[in-house]
Structure 1
C-alpha cells in the first residue's frame, strides 16, 4: 500500500491483511480450532497476529510484545519437537496456544523457531525467531528434498540474497 494521508478502504486493506495469513487449508483448520467464522481475517489476526512477515507486528490494544531480552523461549527436546510438528496438522502455526502469536502466509504447515548452536527453541511472547520448520507433507512425497534442493540452488545463483548455514532437514513421517 502506498503512503497516503487518507485512510485506506476495505477493498485495499482486506487483501493485504488476508495475505498475512496461511492459505485456505491451514486457515480453515485454524478457524475451526479457534471457533471463528470462515474467512474472518481480522478475527484470526486478532488471535494469532503478533509477529507477521515483513517486519509487521499486530497486537490487540493494550497488549505489546515483550522486549527480546525479557521474552521467553522453550528449548525443545527431540520428543517435544516431534509433538509440535505433529500438532501443526490440527493447530497450524500453534494458533491459540498461550504465548504463541505468529502468522506466516503459505499453504504448508510451519512453525517459527530460534536455532542457537545445536539447540532449537520455540519463541514465546513476540521473541524474534531465526528459522522456519516445516513438517513433511503426507500427501506429497519428496517435498522436503525438493525444498532443500531449491534452497541450495538459489544459494548458488549469482544474485542470491540467501545467507547462512544449510537448512536442517528431516524426512521423518509422523
Structure 2
C-alpha cells in the first residue's frame, strides 16, 4: 500500500449508503478467516445499524478508502453509562500498524464514548484471536471474567474472552 492510499483513509459515521460495504467487509472475515458459518441474515443488526447501534450513546463508524469500506467498529449503548464494543473488523489488506485502521477506528469510538460520558466499554472475543487480544491490551483494555460483565452486556455465542476499558469520569 502506498502512503498516498493511507492518506485517503477516512473514519466516518455510518450512513445508509455504507450498508453493503459493511457487510462485504464483515462476512468474509467471519466466514473465511474465522470459519464461522454465518450469513448477513443471521446478523439482523447489519441491516438495521441506525436502529441497533446509533441510539442512546451508541454509534457505528466505518473506515473508507475512496468508495471501499475497509473497516468497521460499533459502540452499543447497554445502559448505566456502559457500552459494548462490537463489530470491529478490518479487511486483511488494511491490517497492521503501518495502516493504522484499527487504531483510528478505536480512537473514534473512545473519543465518542468519553464525550458521551460512558464510564466503561466492554467487549467479547474468542480465545484464538491473539492479535486482537494484543491490540486491545495495548490500548488499555483489561481482561475480565465473564461473571464480571454487566447483566446488560450482549454476549455472543462465540465469545470466550472478555475485556473492559474504564474511562475517566467527567
Shared fold (TM-score greater than 0.5)? no
Greater share of strand: 2
Q: Which TM-score applies when normalising by structure 2?
A: 0.29
Q: Which TM-score applies when normalising by structure 1?
A: 0.29
